[in-house]
């Protein structure tokens, strides 16, 4: 038990360091105004890795609509952007019987599909042109691995995710399914879950380190994001809560493609969250809904972010 307390203290210290270092600095907007991590992705039980070995499936669905004044899209400056998109992510997690430092070893694969409708005015050497485009298909796949720890009411994990440029990215385009570069994302998740009084607090904090896009010579700056959720469980099946996220960039964009220069970006969002848990064929099944209204946004897309998730334990 003492070793568990020590490990928990170390994870809390790492999370505190990320929180302190992350929000303290301002940066510059990543290429396209949106990075690999879909804001609002984590929330319910963000620190909880299932304590039993097995395979777990989650289906994440996000609807997003937003506007941006100016971003670099496909190597060109785009003005007056309007975007609506649907993102579906199929997630498969395997929790093993192996333990390292007392934590359960787990790995995940994320397979995303997207459909995006984007309109705006492109600034090109031949003049300004209004464009409206759509793109759909397989997006940038990611893999993750980490360790998860548990006590009676506290759950925490450390995980590293790698996003790969497996989707389509085209220079000169407004809409595309991939971003054209790699991202490495170390993260810490934490959940306090007390079913005696029904209270839950969940946090997920991460740093995204981006590679250069070889097609546009654009090196997106490194990013910080924090997802959080405060919830009250109403018995074993229903829960309601308040959720939100904070995003800020830590380093400057660089490379020949960063034609907007020092372009600061930040985003904050809040909204309600609902959860319903039951069993299907003797296995745990849960459905989750989250809505985020973005505000205090600078030089990024600003709009409405809807998430609907299904989780099933095989």
Q: Tell me which CATH homologous superfamily contains domain 2-313.
A: monomeric porin ompg (2.40.160.40)
Question: 84-120, pLDDT tens digit by residue?
Answer: 999 999 999 999 999 999 999 999 999 999 999 999 8
pTM equals 0.86
Q: Are 244 and 268 in contact (CB under 8 A)?
A: yes
How high is the pLDDT of residue 129? 82
Q: How far apart are the C-alpha atoms of 262 and 282, rounded to whole Å?
A: 54
Q: What is the pLDDT along the chain (314 residues), one digit of tens a residue?
A: 444 444 444 444 444 444 443 433 333 457 777 889 999 999 999 999 988 899 999 999 999 999 988 777 777 788 888 999 999 999 999 999 999 999 999 999 999 999 999 998 888 777 788 889 999 999 999 999 999 999 989 999 999 999 999 999 988 788 899 999 999 999 999 999 998 999 999 999 999 999 999 998 988 889 999 999 999 999 889 999 999 999 998 887 877 776 766 566 789 999 999 999 998 887 789 999 999 999 988 878 899 999 999 988 86
Q: Are 54 and 96 in contact (CB under 8 A)?
A: no
């Amino acid at each position: 038990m003492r070793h568990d307390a020590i490990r928990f203290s170390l994870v809390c210290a790492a999370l505190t360091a990320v929180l302190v270092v992350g929000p303290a600095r301002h940066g510059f907007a990543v290429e396209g105004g949106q990075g690999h991590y879909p804001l609002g992705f984590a929330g319910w039980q963000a620190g909880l890795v299932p304590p039993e070995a097995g395979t777990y499936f989650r289906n994440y669905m996000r609807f997003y609509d937003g506007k941006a004044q100016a971003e670099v899209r496909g190597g060109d400056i785009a003005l007056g952007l309007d975007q609506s998109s649907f993102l579906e992510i199929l997630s498969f997690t395997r929790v093993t019987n192996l333990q390292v430092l007392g934590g359960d070893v787990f790995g995940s694969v994320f397979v995303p599909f997207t459909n995006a409708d984007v309109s705006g005015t492109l600034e090109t050497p031949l003049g300004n042109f209004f464009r409206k485009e759509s793109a759909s298909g397989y997006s940038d796949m990611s893999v993750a691995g980490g360790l998860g720890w548990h006590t009676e009411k506290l759950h925490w994990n450390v995980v590293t995710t790698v996003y790969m440029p497996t989707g389509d990215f085209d220079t000169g385009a407004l809409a595309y399914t991939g971003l054209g570069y790699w991202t490495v994302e170390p993260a810490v998740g934490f959940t306090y879950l007390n079913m005696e009084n029904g209270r839950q607090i969940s946090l997920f904090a991460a740093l995204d380190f981006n590679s250069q896009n070889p097609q546009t010579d654009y090196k997106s700056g490194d990013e910080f994001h924090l997802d959080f959720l405060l919830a009250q469980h109403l018995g074993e099946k229903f829960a309601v809560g308040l959720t939100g996220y904070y995003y800020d960039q830590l380093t400057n964009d660089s490379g020949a493609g960063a034609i907007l220069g020092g372009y600061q970006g930040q985003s904050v969002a809040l909204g309600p969250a609902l959860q319903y848990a039951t069993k299907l064929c003797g296995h745990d099944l849960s459905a989750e809904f989250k809505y985020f209204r973005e505000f205090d946004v600078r030089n990024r897309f600003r709009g409405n972010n809807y998430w609907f998730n299904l989780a099933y334990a095989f």
